[in-house]
């Protein structure tokens, strides 16, 4: 059904959002000037200002033709006013003096009407931030031509090979600044480009996938990513059914990242202390300081990492810094809200923006070569929590699942549904390859034993 | 980016702080990936936090009072629309539609004794879509002045013309006779935006208090209100003024046994509705008695009563028997079955998905055109008739006209078990050999492009008199499942796994106790063919979602799924209990 000949008209919509209040990426000084002006209007006990702006563009294609493409710009200023323990927020996207003052008054008005929040924490004073390198001029100057070329580089090889491409690229360039009446000020500008491609054979029997993301678009080669997806589409076309059960698997980084990310986002200390987390344990204590994983498991965050540079601050202005979450299999740190950290008398470690799982030096090919029997998994799909107590997740393999024997890919296999917990998975660790950037994180390909596949799927 | 969430789950908030607006959800994978630029940026809430929170807040923060103001009346909007229609036509458009939209949201978040956040948001602007040289073009602006609108229309035409150069085939638009100047309103009794905030807080505090009193360790509760004020005009001669209201009350109760290191949750079994605040009246006449003191809520919800039951049931779950894996006959409550209908019938019958347009995101569909053309594809048993319906009272997808001016209607998707149709809009319906659109085109904001979205998709009730209690009497070895739990389905909609909120073991026609660790796995066609009984219309009610995700950049839409309690024989049940 995914043939070259369209069944009907090519349903395409091209769009553009026009914003007459044309914005640009502000400099640190320009952002500070606006924030200071807003703060000068304040009559509240405390006030904070968040200022964001940027441009985002995208191109989408399916059935080997572009379906939508567009670009939009936006900027927004949010003012939070606080009286005692009552706070209110108002937002505006116009930055003239009258608009700014009106927004301050509105935030103050909302704050006065708001119910008191007993967990309110006074605003932070000045903080020291790392100087991270999240902005790329190459990405900031992306234009419709570059997007079209990126799409064509992906579509044309598929057309030539009687394959069908569906892909999406989205790029953003923007700045984010925050300041408050206690003297805190921080500014960062960042760029990001995300690309995904699904290639299917014309008979609908084979499907392959590729994904890549960067801060700097010059590192993105949509043709190369597409070629891997094409290869997988062709190679997966005559899938055989294997019995569901426990298998040794090699999870490509695109397959491993979701389960790991889910776990990393479940590291909140308050939930653990309240007895409702995988980090809670019998008797009311937490698993902080305990060995919960294979001793080779090391997961940390580092906004200064060159491959995945991150924002120097968290949403509420706390500095981001290098921190170990899991070291040699031991739970080293949990994330805290400022309120809970204050209550517990510990450092208020914010949730990280991304994570790095340390790995080895082997390539994916090396891992396959060293595998007697196993299954190579390209990606996992529709992952949903089944049990938050054990972090059990379900989902399916998709777009390239292969049987490995004696170090070689033998044949494609039908997709499986899995039911597995990242905690169990990281105890059944056999080997790790070299980490690669995936969805803003660094993740190695993982070889895992006894990964639980519970049923078969006919989906391609 | 992680483009993987399709059906957006109920949020289960772990912690939310009003001072920083930091919001996280229980299961971080359950993130809503949508167009990031649309998220309102609240103070202290980074883009990342919003995305992981999964709350699609559209527009600018404002006061509750401001939401009751009206920026423009229908006459003004008609004037504005005509400017756009004329500007586009003069530049060479052969078809134009204009949507002047004001989208209002009010969301309340609480936890135990605290109000954590109240969000009032407004988004106002115009989106103009044209066909020029046989190709679509779209442009949108928040500048709703004469000049702004004219310029926006011209831009849309310029984009269409530019892109016509690389188009292979022209758009074939199904004709739609203009409907003139008409209005349509969700028939609400109480406008939720007019109810004082304090009354809403009092309700949620009562909900939380009663839950805690009845054994909950923790509770979060929320109210979501949406009002879409949409004015649509097209070169067909339609000027349609619509006022659409939606409401969703929900909560999550958690019971904790620290000594045993265990916790269990129970979510509300409310349904989001196309109704006003009257949904919260809790009318006795809208309650449907179930087994074991369970209550089903039709078109009126008793939130406090449900919270009390939730607390007791979450505690009961702690000691419930872990299910032995195997084949069971399943008796599925409408508040559970709705999601199964959504995933295994609603999505696979979206025509754009069948054609491959969603291949890189949610996937394609097993329900290919050849199966439909054959005219004898047994999607389900003869007990299964599933309708698409944009007119169903109190449902989320119900409107007078869709976002391309097509009057709402009802049509069969599956008739007596056989696949008979898909969901298609004006530029698709010719593929099905039909001359009229199904009227299920929708855009989630004025600045997003309208495209095919799921109408209300519902299983018709059985014709013979049958209550849930009678249905259970006929089951020898089975499980009765209530509420929406974990859910997952493959990219062509064959293999799925569903959990629930409450599971009861049925033995020899009676409920013998609560079960835990239950999930069932099946294949869509096999599952619907195992449907042996559907309760009658007295048991019928809807399930729904505010945030069904589709497209790249992703858009949300709200949709309901009605059914009566239904029995499926011999379904594979797995045990999801694990030790870590």
pLDDT digits (tens, 9 = 90+) for A330-389: 999 999 999 999 999 999 999 999 999 999 999 999 999 999 999 999 999 999 999 999
User: Residue B277: CB partners within 8 Å, gap ≥ 6?
Assistant: B188, B189, B190, B191, B192, B195, B247
At residue A1, does pLDDT exceed 70? no
Distance CA(A322)–CA(A134), nearest Å, equals 16
- Nearest in space to A213 (alpha carbons), one of A387, A437, A381, A382: A437
Looking at the structure, tell me whether residues A251 and A212 fall in a common domain: no
Residue B550 forms beta bridges with which residues? Answer: B555
Residue of A nearest to B137 (CA): A14
Instruction: State whether A120 and A160 are in the same domain.
Output: yes
* Contacts A423 to B, Cβ<8 Å: 580
pLDDT category of residue B486 using cuts at 50, 70 and 90: very high
* b (16+ CB within 10 A) / e for A63-89: bbbbbbbbbbbbbbbbbbbbbebbbbb
- How is residue B52 written in tokens? 């992981």
Q: For A152-160, what is the mean pLDDT?
A: 96
Name the pairing type of β-strands B238-257 and B180-185.
parallel
CA B145 – CA B125 distance, rounded (Å): 10
A344 within a domain of the structure (yes/no): no
Q: Let me know: does B92 contact B161? Beta carbons within 8 Å.
A: yes
The complex's ipTM works out to: 0.93
Query: Residue B262 and residue B254: Cα distance in Å, rounded?
Result: 10
Separation of alpha carbons B536 and A275, rounded Å:
43
**Which of B62, B449, B574 shows the shortest C-beta gap to A68?**
B449
| Average pLDDT score over residue span A167-193 | 97
Residue B8: is its pLDDT beyond 60? no
Q: List the single best residue of B37, B43, B52 to mutate versus A (max A Cβ within 10 A).
A: B43
Determine what percent of chain A is predicted with pLDDT higher than 90.
Answer: 85
**What CATH number has the domain bearing residue A222?**
3.30.2290.10
pLDDT band at B64; cut points 50, 70, 90: confident
Q: State the pairing for strand pair B326-332/B477-482.
A: parallel
A3 assigned to some structural domain:
no
pLDDT of residue B169: 80
**Confidence class for position A13, pLDDT limits 50, 70, 90:** low
Q: How many CB atoms lie within 10 A of CB A197?
A: 28
Instruction: Note the residue count of chain A.
Output: 460
Query: Is A8 part of a structural domain of the chain?
Result: no
- Percent of chain A exceeding pLDDT 70 equals 95
Q: Do A153 and A226 touch, CB atoms closer than 8 A? A: yes
For all residues of chain B together, what is the average pLDDT? Answer: 89
The CATH fold of domain B62-274: PmbA/TldD fold (3.30.2290)
Query: So what's the pLDDT on residue A15?
Result: 54
Q: Determine contact, residues B351/B499, Cβ cutoff 8 Å.
A: no
| Nearby residues of B374 by Cβ (< 8 Å), 6 or more positions away | none
Q: Given strand A323-327, what is the order of strands in its sheet?
A: A330-331, A323-327, A299-301, A356-357, A441-443, A436-438
Residues in A closer than 8 angstroms to B115, CB to CB, are 114-115, 117
Mode of pairing for the β-strands spanning B510-516 and B321-322: parallel
Q: Report whether B225 contacts B192 (CB < 8 A).
A: yes
Please indicate, yes or no, whether residues A178 and A84 belong to a single structural domain of this protein.
Answer: yes
Of A218, A233, A248, which residue sits at a domain end?
A233
Is A386 inside a domain boundary?
yes
Answer yes or no: do A199 and A246 share one domain: no
Is the pLDDT score of A212 beyond 70? Answer: yes
> pLDDT band at A145, cuts 50/70/90?
confident
Best probe of the A interface among B61, B87, B448, B579, by most A CBs < 10 A, is B61
Look at residue A192 and tell me if it is in a domain: yes
Nearest by CB to residue A170, choosing from B1, B359, B523, is B1
Strand B418-419 versus strand B410-415 pairing type: antiparallel
Do A165 and A155 meet the contact criterion of CB atoms below 8 Å apart? yes
Q: For B319-343, what is the mean pLDDT? A: 98
Q: Which residue intervals of A2-143 are DSSP H helices?
A: 28-40, 97-113, 137-140
Q: Which residue of B has its CA nearest to A52?
A: B41
Place of tokens 């084979």: A206
Are A86 and A206 found together in one domain?
yes
Q: Taking residues B232-241, what's their average pLDDT?
A: 98
- Report chain A residues whose CB lies below 8 A from the CB of B217: 274-276
Which of the two residues, A118 and A186, has the higher pLDDT score?
A: A186
User: Residue B408 and residue B387: Cα distance in Å, rounded?
Assistant: 13
Chain B partners of A392 at a C-beta cutoff of 8 Å?
A: 576, 578
Which residue in chain B has the smallest CA separation from A93?
B60
Instruction: Collect all residues with Cβ–Cβ distance below 8 Å to A429 and sequence separation of at least 6.
Output: A293, A294, A296, A297, A446, A447, A448
A116 plus A251 within the same structural domain = no
CB-nearest to A164 from B18, B44, B356 is B356
CB distance A9–B430 less than 8 Å? yes
Q: Tell me the chain A residues in contact with residue B163 when contact means C-beta distances shorter than 8 Å.
A: 12, 14
* pLDDT tens digits, one per residue of B138-196: 999 888 899 999 999 999 999 888 878 877 789 999 999 999 999 999 999 999 999 99
Write the residue in B14, B37, B360 that is nearest to A271 by C-beta: B14
Query: Residues of A with CB below 8 A from B489's CB?
Result: 382
> Does residue A255 lie within any of the structural domains?
yes
Most A CBs within 10 Å, among B6, B12, B24, B29, to test the A interface? B29
Is the Cβ pair A168, B27 closer than 8 Å?
Answer: no
Cα gap B24→B2, rounded to integer Å: 17
**pLDDT-based confidence at residue A216 (cuts at 50, 70, 90):** very high
Which pLDDT score, from 0 to 100, does residue B235 have? 98
Q: Are strands A245-251 and A373-387 parallel, antiparallel or unpaired?
A: parallel
Other C-beta atoms lying within 10 Å of the C-beta of residue A123: 23
Residue B47 confidence class, pLDDT cut points 50, 70, 90: very low
Are residue A163 and residue A249 in the same domain, yes or no?
no
Number of domains in chain A: 2
Same domain flag for A158 and A186? yes
* Residues paired with residue A190 on neighbouring β-strands, in sequence order: A174
Q: Is the Cβ–Cβ distance between B541 and B480 less than 8 Å?
A: no
Same domain assignment for residues A117 and A75: yes
Do both A188 and A247 map to the same domain?
Answer: no
Mean of all residue pLDDT scores within chain A? 93
Q: Is residue A339 part of a domain?
A: no
Put simply, whether B327 touches A (Cβ < 8 Å) is: no
DSSP letters, A359-420, are --S--HHHHHHT-SEEEEEEEEEEEEEEETTTTEEEEEEEEEEEEEETTEEEEEB--EEEEE
Determine the average pLDDT of the residues in A440-447. Answer: 98
Confidence of residue B49 (pLDDT cuts 50, 70, 90): very low
What contacts A145, CB < 8 A, 6 or more positions away?
A: none
Verify that A191 and A84 share a domain, yes or no. yes
CA distance B7 to chain A (A): 9
**Domain extents in chain B:** 1-57, 62-274, 326-575
Chain A residues whose beta carbon lies within 8 Å of the beta carbon of residue B42? 50, 78, 80, 89, 91
Boundaries of domain holding A249: 239-260+359-456
Q: How confident is the model at residue B54 (pLDDT cuts 50, 70, 90)?
A: low
pLDDT band at A89 (very low <50, low <70, confident <90, very high): confident
Q: Are residues A225 and A246 in the same domain?
A: no
């Amino acid at each position: 059904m995914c043939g070259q000949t369209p069944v009907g008209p090519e349903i395409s919509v091209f769009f553009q959002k026009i914003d007459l209040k044309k914005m640009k990426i502000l400099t640190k000084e320009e952002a500070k000037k606006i924030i200071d002006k807003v703060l000068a209007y304040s009559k509240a006990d405390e006030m904070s200002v968040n200022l964001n702006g940027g441009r985002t563009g995208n191109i989408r294609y399916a059935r080997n033709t572009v379906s939508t493409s567009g670009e939009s710009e936006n900027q927004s200023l949010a003012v939070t006013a606080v009286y005692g323990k009552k706070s209110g927020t108002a937002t505006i996207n116009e930055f003239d003096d009258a608009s700014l003052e009106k927004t301050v008054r509105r935030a103050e008005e909302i704050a006065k009407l708001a119910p008191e929040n007993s967990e309110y924490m006074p605003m932070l004073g000045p903080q020291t931030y790392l100087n991270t390198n999240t902005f790329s001029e190459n990405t900031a100057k992306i234009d419709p031509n570059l997007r079209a070329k990126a799409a064509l580089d992906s579509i044309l090889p598929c057309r030539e090979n009687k394959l069908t491409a569906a892909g999406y690229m989205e790029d953003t360039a923007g700045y984010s600044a925050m300041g408050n009446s206690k003297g805190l000020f921080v500014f960062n500008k960042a760029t990001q480009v995300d690309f995904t491609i699904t290639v299917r054979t014309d008979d609908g029997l084979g499907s392959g996938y590729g994904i890549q993301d960067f801060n700097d678009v010059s590192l993105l080669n949509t043709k190369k990513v597409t070629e891997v997806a094409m290869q997988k589409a062709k190679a997966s076309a005559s899938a055989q059914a294997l019995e569901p059960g426990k298998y040794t698997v090699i999870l490509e980084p695109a397959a491993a990242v979701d389960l790991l990310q889910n776990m990393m986002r479940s590291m909140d200390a308050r939930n653990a202390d309240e007895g409702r987390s995988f980090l809670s344990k019998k008797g009311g204590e937490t698993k902080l300081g305990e060995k919960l994983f294979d001793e080779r498991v090391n997961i940390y965050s580092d906004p200064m990492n060159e491959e995945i540079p991150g924002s120097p601050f968290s949403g509420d202005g706390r500095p981001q810094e290098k921190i170990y979450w899991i070291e040699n299999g031991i739970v080293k740190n949990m994330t805290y809200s400022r309120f809970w950290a204050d209550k517990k008398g510990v450092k208020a470690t914010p949730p990280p923006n991304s994570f790095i799982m340390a790995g080895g030096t082997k390539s994916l090919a090396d891992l396959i070569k060293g595998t007697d029997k196993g299954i190579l998994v390209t990606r996992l799909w529709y992952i949903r929590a089944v049990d938050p107590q054990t972090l059990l997740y379900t989902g399916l393999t998709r777009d390239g699942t292969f049987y490995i024997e004696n170090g070689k890919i033998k044949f494609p296999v039908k997709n499986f549904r899995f039911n597995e917990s990242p905690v169990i998975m990281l105890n059944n660790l056999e080997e790790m390859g070299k980490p690669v950037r995936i969805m803003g994180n660094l993740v190695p390909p993982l070889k895992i034993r006894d990964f639980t596949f519970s049923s078969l799927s006919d989906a391609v | 980016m992680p483009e993987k969430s399709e059906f957006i789950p109920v949020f289960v908030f772990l912690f939310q702080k009003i001072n920083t607006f930091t919001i996280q959800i229980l299961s971080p994978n359950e993130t809503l990936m949508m167009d990031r630029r649309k998220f309102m940026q609240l103070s202290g809430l980074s883009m990342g936090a919003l995305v992981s929170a999964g709350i699609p807040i559209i527009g600018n923060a404002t006061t509750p009072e401001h939401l009751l103001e009206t920026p423009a009346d229908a006459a003004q909007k008609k004037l504005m629309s005509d400017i756009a229609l004329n500007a586009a036509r003069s530049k060479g458009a052969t078809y134009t539609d204009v949507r002047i939209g004001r989208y209002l949201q009010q969301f309340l978040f609480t936890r135990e004794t605290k109000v954590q956040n109240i969000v009032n948001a407004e988004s106002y602007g115009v989106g103009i879509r044209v066909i020029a040289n046989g190709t679509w073009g779209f442009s949108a602006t928040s500048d709703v002045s004469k000049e702004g609108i004219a310029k926006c229309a011209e831009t849309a035409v310029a984009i269409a013309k530019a892109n016509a150069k690389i188009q292979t085939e022209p758009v074939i638009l199904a004709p739609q006779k203009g409907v003139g100047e008409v209005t349509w309103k969700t028939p609400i009794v109480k406008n939720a935006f007019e109810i004082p905030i304090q009354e809403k807080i009092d309700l949620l505090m009562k909900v939380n208090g009663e839950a805690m009193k009845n054994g909950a360790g923790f509770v979060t509760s929320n109210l979501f209100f949406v009002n879409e004020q949409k004015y649509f005009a097209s070169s067909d001669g339609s000027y349609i003024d619509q006022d659409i209201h939606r409401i969703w009350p929900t909560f999550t109760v958690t019971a904790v046994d620290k000594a045993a290191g265990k916790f269990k949750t129970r979510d509300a079994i409310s349904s989001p509705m196309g109704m006003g605040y009257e949904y919260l009246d809790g009318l006795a006449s809208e309650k449907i008695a179930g087994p074991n003191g369970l209550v089903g809520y039709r078109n009126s919800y008793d939130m406090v009563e449900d919270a009390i039951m939730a607390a007791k049931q979450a505690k009961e779950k702690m000691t419930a028997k872990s299910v032995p894996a195997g084949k069971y006959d399943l008796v599925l409550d409408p508040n559970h079955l709705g999601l199964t209908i959504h995933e295994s019938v609603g999505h696979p019958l979206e025509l754009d998905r069948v054609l491959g347009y969603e291949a890189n995101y949610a996937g394609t569909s097993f329900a290919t055109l050849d199966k439909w053309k054959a005219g004898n594809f047994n999607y389900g048993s003869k007990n299964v008739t599933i309708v698409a319906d944009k007119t169903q009272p109190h449902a989320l997808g119900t409107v007078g006209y869709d976002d391309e001016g097509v009057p709402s209607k009802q049509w069969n998707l599956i008739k007596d078990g056989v696949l008979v149709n898909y969901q298609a809009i004006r530029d698709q319906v010719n593929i099905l050999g039909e001359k009229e659109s199904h009227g299920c085109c929708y855009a989630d904001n004025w600045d997003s492009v309208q495209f095919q979205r799921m109408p209300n998709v519902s299983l018709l009730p059985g014709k013979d008199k049958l209550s849930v209690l009678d249905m259970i009497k006929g089951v020898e070895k089975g499980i009765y499942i209530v509420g929406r739990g974990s859910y997952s389905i493959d990219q062509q909609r064959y293999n799925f796994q569903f959990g629930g909120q409450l599971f009861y073991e049925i033995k020899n026609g009676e409920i013998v106790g609560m079960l835990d660790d239950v999930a069932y796995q099946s294949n869509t066609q096999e599952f619907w063919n195992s449907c042996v009984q559907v309760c009658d219309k007295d048991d019928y009610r809807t399930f729904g979602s505010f945030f069904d995700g589709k497209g790249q950049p992703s858009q949300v839409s709200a949709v309901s799924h009605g059914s009566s309690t239904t029995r499926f024989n011999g379904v594979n049940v797995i045990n999801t209990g694990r030790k870590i």
